[in-house]
Amino acid sequence: MRTSIATVSLSGSLTEKLTAASRAGFDGVEIFENDLLASPLTPEEIRARCADLGLSVDLYQPMRDIEAVPADEFARGLRRARHKFEVMRRLGADTVLVCSSVHPLAVDDDALAAYHLRQLADLAQEFGLRVAYEALAWGRHVSTYDHAWRIVEAADHPALGTCLDSFHILSRGSDPKGIEDIPGEKIFFLQLADAPLLAMDVLQWSRHYRCFPGQGGFDVAGLVRHVLRTGYDGPLSLEVFNDVFRQAEAGPTAVDAHRSLLVLQETVGVATPPAPVVPTGIAFAELVTPDAEPVSAVLGALGFARTARHRSKPVDLWQQGEARILVNTSGAARRDGTGLAAIGLESPDPTGAARRAEALLAPVLPRRRAPEDAPLDAVAAPDGTELFFCATQRNELPNWRADFTDVAHRAGTPGVHGIDHLALTQPWHHFDEATLFHRSVLGLHAQESVDVADPYGLMRSRAVTNADESVRIALSVGAAPTDDTVHAQHIALTTDDVVAAARRFRAAGGRLLPIPANYYDDLAARYEFPDGELETYRELGILYDRDAHGEFRHCYTVTVGRVFFELAQRDGYRGYGAQNAPVRLAAQHAGRPVR
């Protein structure tokens, strides 16, 4: 199906928005009136610009307060409409959006509303245009799609149809099944938006919190299925009012928007991109650093051994059990200290995983490699993290491990046996995009979003996992955009005995994050522990939590650059220690990262 996006969904000038929409792969745009009014280009120039970019102008919007108003107000409305219709003809748009009236003088009279809309449609027809009537969720008298359709049906004009908007329908809890009673040819336009499930005024909810399909809590796909059963053959168009999107760069937002429609079309069965290939494990985590010494010291204290060196690049492999950390000191290393730059994902079909990623607009990253290096495909996540698709079996190609030459045969100190999870802090404007990306591109399941109290605000976090949780990635966005402590990433390491692992780490010279004594006083009040256990946790800075499935004991190293490590002991526990996160964040704020 054709795809479209309202210019109000993107930031920047109208020309910047049009360029972003075209580059992201959209077929058309809805031009929001304010964007046109603020543009120095004439309607003819905008029309030509859209044509050059391969974009159709699918809708001009909005026209307001036209129906069921006093005669003098309606006369003014028709005069305004005549001017707008002339602009639309110059612009090349053939459909205008008319929102249900919120005028304080509007009356609850469906017959009058139908009469006014019929007259408006007569005028539109003179210009070769169509009118799409939409029920605003906060309309004064018309606030549901079925009510709007009854008025359109009563008006009975070939140039008058209805516009369906998923937000206005789903935010009111209306049953979308009734859409199937509307003839498809009378649905002139379909606007789509998702939203988090919030208990708030619907107008403010609409204007600030809409998001792209798949990023919120609405069943947008279910609504689209009902629309398609009517025979509707117009575009799927996004109309999203969102404070974050309006401040973020237009290009990446447009890509995220188009990806959401590609996934939606797959969900409703009108498109068949390559099937998702769900990763089966973490092959490695790659750190980049201008100075390997600090992070190497931490890894050594954690019990890792430097076991191999890349044949052609300044990259060392540190390993303990199935936990593998690459330390990269190439010229591309971060200037702001050590950072988590790449993740190797074990995949049963690396080529298929790469095809899926590329089809869903994930940027494929060019790689500088020697002829003998493994031909690993890599794509960029929204936060810039590189994702490599690696063969699950070591004797399969591409085998990334074959690029490394052994430098030691000594195994790491027993204690850590794998990577429990990776925590990636997202740029403030990429959190919803990151969730959709990991769900759609990688086929991971998104758990519920949680809010964590930070000393300087709230931190949002959401984990994505595969079915057996051998891949766990916690996505978060911090409260203070300029604070490296809040925005540090971390690697959680699995251990069967966190107390022993913490003691070994400290004995080897490692520094654990100190936890305030007040935390342990509260822990004693909430839980009963065997004699001496709580004192051990207090001594080592070990935190404790439990859920319906079991217990969780974990502790943290101090931060190196923008990365710290977590030692995690799960005994059936399914969470990530969210109960303890405010204490950890406060402790990190209190100290300074080691550079």
**Residue predicted with more confidence, 4 or 399:** 4
d(CA 345, CA 394): 13
- The amino acid sitting at 183 is P
Same fold, 281-406 and 416-590: yes
pLDDT for position 515: 96
Beta bridge partners, 422, equal: 473, 491
Q: What pTM did the predictor assign?
A: 0.89
Confidence at residue 330, expressed as pLDDT on a 0 to 100 scale: 84
Alpha-carbon torsion, ordered 516, 522, 526, 527, to 10 deg: 50
Q: Which residues contact 24 (CB under 8 A, 6 or more apart)?
A: 251, 254, 255, 257, 258, 361
Cross-strand pairs, 462: 475
pLDDT digits 0-9 by tens, 512-536: 999 999 999 999 999 999 999 999 9
Q: What are the respective helix, strand and coil percentages of the chain, to the nearest 5?
A: 35, 25, 40
pLDDT band at 365 (very low <50, low <70, confident <90, very high): confident
- Model confidence at 87, pLDDT cuts 50, 70, 90, reads very high
- Residue with token string 């789903």: 170
State which CATH number among 3.40.50.2000, 3.10.180.10, 1.10.10.60, 3.90.76.10 fits the domain covering 416-590: 3.10.180.10
CATH superfamily label, 3-268: Divalent-metal-dependent TIM barrel enzymes (3.20.20.150)
Report the amino acid identity of residue 497. Answer: D
In this predicted structure, the answer to whether residue 595 has a pLDDT above a threshold of 70 is: no
Cα-to-chain-centroid distance, residue 147: 34
Q: Measured between alpha carbons, how far is 568 from 571 in angstroms, rounded to an integer?
A: 10
Are 434 and 426 in contact, with CB atoms under 8 Å apart? Answer: yes
Separation CA 553–CA 485 (nearest Å): 22
| pLDDT classification of 364: cutoffs 50, 70, 90 | confident
**Residue 154 to residues 117, 119, 149, 277, 297, Cα–Cα distance (Å):** 10, 13, 8, 50, 77
User: What is the pLDDT averaged over residues 341-369?
Assistant: 89
CA dist 319 and 97 (Å) reads 60
Q: Does domain 281-406 have CATH number 3.20.20.150?
A: no
466 has pLDDT over 70: yes
- Report whether 551 contacts 573 (CB < 8 A): yes
Residue 247 confidence class, pLDDT cut points 50, 70, 90: confident
Quick one: pLDDT band at residue 141, thresholds 50, 70, 90?
Answer: very high
- Identify the weakest region by mean pLDDT among 55-69, 454-468, 472-486: 472-486
Give the Cα separation of 177 and 185 in Å (integer).
17
pLDDT, position 486: 47
Q: Which CA distances in Å does 564 have to 510, 513, 527, 555?
A: 12, 10, 28, 11
Is 174 in a helix, a strand, or coil? coil
Q: b/e map of 367-403 (b: 16 or more CB within 10 Å)?
A: eeeeeebbebbbbbbbbebbbbbbbeeeeeebebeeb
Place 484 in a pLDDT band, splitting at 50, 70 and 90.
very low
- β-pairing, 56-63 vs 28-32, is parallel
Residue 403 CB partners (closer than 8 Å, separation 6+): 310, 311, 312, 372, 373, 374
Domain residue spans in the chain? 3-268, 281-406, 416-590
Using only C-alpha atoms, the chain has a radius of gyration, in whole angstroms, of 28
Separation between Cα atoms, residue 570 and residue 547, nearest integer Å: 11
Whether 366 has a pLDDT exceeding 80, the answer reads no
Taking Cα atoms as reference points, which of 281, 282, 284 lies closest to residue 299? Answer: 284
DSSP code for 117 = H
Token pair recorded at residue 93: 């748009």
Q: Would you state the pLDDT for residue 41?
A: 97
Q: Contact, 203 vs 18, CB < 8 A?
A: no
Whole-number Å distance between alpha carbons of 305 and 285 = 15
What pLDDT does 336 receive?
62
d(CA 43, CA 402): 59
pLDDT of residue 332: 54
Return the pLDDT at 456: 72
Q: Classify burial at 427, counting beta carbons within 10 Å of its beta carbon; exposed 0-12, middle 13-18, buried 19 or more.
A: middle
The string of DSSP codes covering 339-361 is EEEEEEEEES-HHHHHHHHHHTT
- Convert 379-401 into a string of H (helix), E (strand) and C (coil): EECCCCCEEEEEECCCCCCCCHH
